[in-house]
C-alpha cells in the first residue's frame, strides 16, 4: 500500500481532471476497476457537474525573475480550480489572492474554489511574511472547459444480491492521510477478496468527494434497496487509534459489526455518533437515502493538525498503520461473511458434549475458553441470536464463537435458521 501511495503522491488531483484520471489508471494496474466519465453540465440532484479543470504550471515571480511561489514544487500552492491568470501586480493587489494558516506558519494550506470562479495561491505564513513590495508576475496555466468528472467502480458478485459498499475518494492533491490512504487501503482490500467466494456482493467506489458520490448515487438511485451496509474509507494511515463514526441510523448492522471488530482488538478505540460534517457519508446518509453507512478511520479528519496541509505527507502516514487499518477492514468482511443465526438441534437441555469430544470427560474446576464458547453458542442459538449477538452477550471474540459454531455444525448440533 505504501509504495502505491508513493506513486500516487505527486499527481495533481482535483474533483475533475487528468490527475484524477491518471490516479485511477495506476490503481487499475492492481485491481480491475471500471472507470466512468460524467460529462460537464450533467445535472446531479441539486448540483451540476462542473467544468473540467487541468493545470500545467503556476507561479508568482518577483522582479528578479525568481519564483517565490511555485506550483512545480508543491501542487498545494494553487487554490484548486483556479482560473487561468497571466498578469502583473503589486504585493498589495496580490494579497487578497494569497491564503495562509497563521496559526501553523510552516505549512501550506489546502484550499479549493470548486464552485465559485476565482484564483489564488496557498503558501506558508512564513513565506508570506517574507514577501516584499515588488511588481510580481502572476501566472496560472490552467484550463476550465467542457470535459467530465471521472470515477471508478468495482463489483464483486456474491451469493446474494445483498450488497456492502466500500467507498473512498481521490480528489485531493499531494496529501497522504486525507486522502491517499483511503484509495490504497481500498485497493489492498479488493486484492485480498477478488476471486474468492462471498455471501454478500461487494461494491467498491473511488469517487471525487461530494460531487462524485452524488454522481454515483444519481446514476444508481433505483438500485439502492440491496445496500445492506457500507463504510467510507479515509484517514487510515496515521498513528492514532481507530475511530468508528456510526451510520446515521446509529444501530445498523454495519455499526454492530464494526464496533465488535474494534472491541475484539482489545486496543483503545473510539466510537462516535454520526454527524453531518465529514466525508461522503454526508451524501450516503442524507435523508433521501439514509443508507446504513459509517466510516472507519484512525484519527478523524480535522482532528490532526496536519489535516488539509502540506504536512499530511509521506512521512505522516506509515506503512504499519495502513496495514493495521487493513486488518480491521478485513475483519469487518470476515464478520459479515461468517455471521449466521443458527438453531440448536438439541435444544432441550444441553446435549452430551463429552461423547462428541467437545467437552472434557473428567469433571474439574474450570472450563476451557472453547468449552465456554461452545456452551454460549448452544445456549443462545434459539433463532433470536446471531453469532455476533452471542459474541457480544458473552463478551467473547467473534473469532472464538465462530470457531465454536463450526465445531457444533460439524457435529450436527447447529443448523442455519431458515425463515
* Residue whose CB is less far from its own copies, 132 or 348: 348
- The distance of closest approach from Cβ of residue 48 to its own copies in the complex, given in angstroms and rounded to an integer, is 9
Other C-beta atoms lying within 10 Å of the C-beta of residue 222: 6
* Residue whose CB is less far from its own copies, 234 or 325: 234
**Longest distance between any two alpha carbons in the chain, whole Å:** 93
Contact 244, 258 (CB under 8 A): yes
**Residues 252-265 as b or e (16 or more Cβ within 10 Å = b):** bbbbbbbbbbbbbe
Indicate the DSSP class of residue 47: E
- The distance of closest approach from Cβ of residue 367 to its own copies in the complex, given in angstroms and rounded to an integer, is 6
Residue list 271-310, contact with its own copies (CB under 8 A): 273, 275-277, 282-283, 285-290, 302, 307-308
Contact 337, 200 (CB under 8 A): yes
- The distance of closest approach from Cβ of residue 24 to its own copies in the complex, given in angstroms and rounded to an integer, is 22
Contact 403, 370 (CB under 8 A): yes
Indicate the DSSP class of residue 178: I
- The distance of closest approach from Cβ of residue 221 to its own copies in the complex, given in angstroms and rounded to an integer, is 7
Contact 296, 272 (CB under 8 A): no
Per rule CB under 8 A, is residue 42 in the interface with its own copies?
no
Helix (H) or strand (E) holding 60: strand 52-61
Per rule CB under 8 A, is residue 242 in the interface with its own copies?
no
- The distance of closest approach from Cβ of residue 62 to its own copies in the complex, given in angstroms and rounded to an integer, is 25
Per rule CB under 8 A, is residue 418 in the interface with its own copies?
no
Residue list 61-80, contact with its own copies (CB under 8 A): 79-80
- The distance of closest approach from Cβ of residue 378 to its own copies in the complex, given in angstroms and rounded to an integer, is 7
Contacts of 297 (CB under 8 A, 6+ apart): 233, 234, 235, 236, 242, 243, 244, 245
Other C-beta atoms lying within 10 Å of the C-beta of residue 158: 18
Q: Which residues make up the interface to its own copies (CB under 8 A)?
A: 44-47, 79-80, 99, 101, 109, 111-116, 118, 120, 210, 213-214, 217-218, 221, 248, 273, 275-277, 282-283, 285-290, 302, 307-308, 344, 346-352, 354-355, 361-367, 372, 375-376, 378-382, 393-394
Amino acid at each position: 500500500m505504501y509504495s502505491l501511495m508513493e506513486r500516487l503522491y505527486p499527481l495533481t488531483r482535483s474533483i475533475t481532471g487528468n490527475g484524477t484520471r491518471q490516479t485511477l489508471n495506476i490503481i487499475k494496474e492492481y485491481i480491475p476497476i471500471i472507470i466512468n466519465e460524467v460529462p460537464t453540465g450533467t445535472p446531479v440532484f441539486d448540483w451540476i457537474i462542473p467544468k473540467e479543470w487541468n493545470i500545467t504550471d503556476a507561479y508568482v515571480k518577483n522582479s528578479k525573475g525568481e519564483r517565490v511561489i511555485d506550483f512545480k514544487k508543491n501542487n498545494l500552492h494553487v487554490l484548486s480550480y483556479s482560473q487561468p491568470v497571466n498578469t502583473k501586480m503589486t504585493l498589495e493587489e496580490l494579497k487578497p489572492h494569497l491564503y495562509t494558516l497563521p496559526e501553523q506558519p510552516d505549512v501550506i494550506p489546502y484550499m479549493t474554489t470548486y464552485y465559485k470562479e476565482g484564483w489564488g495561491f496557498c503558501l506558508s505564513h512564513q513565506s508570506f511574511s517574507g514577501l516584499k513590495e515588488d511588481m510580481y508576475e502572476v501566472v496560472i496555466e490552467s484550463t476550465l472547459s467542457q470535459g467530465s468528472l471521472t470515477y471508478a467502480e468495482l463489483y464483486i458478485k456474491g451469493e446474494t444480491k445483498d450488497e456492502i459498499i466500500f467507498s473512498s475518494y481521490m480528489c485531493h492533491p499531494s496529501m497522504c492521510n486525507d486522502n491517499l490512504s483511503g484509495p490504497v487501503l481500498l485497493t489492498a482490500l479488493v486484492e485480498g477478496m477478488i476471486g474468492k467466494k462471498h455471501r454478500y456482493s461487494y461494491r467498491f467506489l473511488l469517487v471525487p468527494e461530494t460531487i462524485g458520490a452524488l454522481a454515483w448515487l444519481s446514476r444508481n438511485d433505483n438500485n439502492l434497496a440491496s445496500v445492506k451496509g457500507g463504510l467510507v474509507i479515509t484517514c487510515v494511515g496515521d498513528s492514532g487509534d481507530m475511530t468508528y463514526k456510526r451510520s446515521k441510523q446509529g444501530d445498523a448492522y454495519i455499526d454492530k459489526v464494526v464496533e465488535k471488530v474494534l472491541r475484539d482488538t482489545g486496543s483503545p478505540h473510539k466510537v462516535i455518533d454520526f454527524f453531518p460534517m465529514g466525508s461522503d457519508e454526508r451524501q450516503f446518509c442524507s435523508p433521501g437515502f439514509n443508507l446504513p453507512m459509517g466510516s472507519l478511520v484512525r484519527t478523524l479528519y480535522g482532528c490532526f493538525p496536519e489535516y488539509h496541509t502540506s504536512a499530511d505527507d509521506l512521512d505522516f502516514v506509515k506503512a504499519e498503520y495502513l496495514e493495521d487499518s487493513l486488518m480491521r477492514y478485513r475483519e469487518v468482511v470476515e464478520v459479515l461473511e461468517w455471521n449466521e443465526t443458527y438453531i440448536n438441534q438439541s435444544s432441550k437441555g444441553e446435549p452430551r458434549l463429552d461423547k462428541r469430544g467437545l467437552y472434557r470427560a473428567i469433571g474439574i474446576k474450570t472450563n476451557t475458553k472453547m468449552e465456554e464458547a461452545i456452551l454460549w453458542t448452544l445456549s443462545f442459538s434459539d433463532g433470536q441470536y446471531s453469532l455476533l449477538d452471542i459474541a457480544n452477550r458473552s463478551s467473547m471474540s467473534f473469532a472464538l464463537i465462530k470457531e465454536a459454531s463450526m465445531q457444533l455444525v460439524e457435529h450436527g448440533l447447529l443448523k442455519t435458521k431458515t425463515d
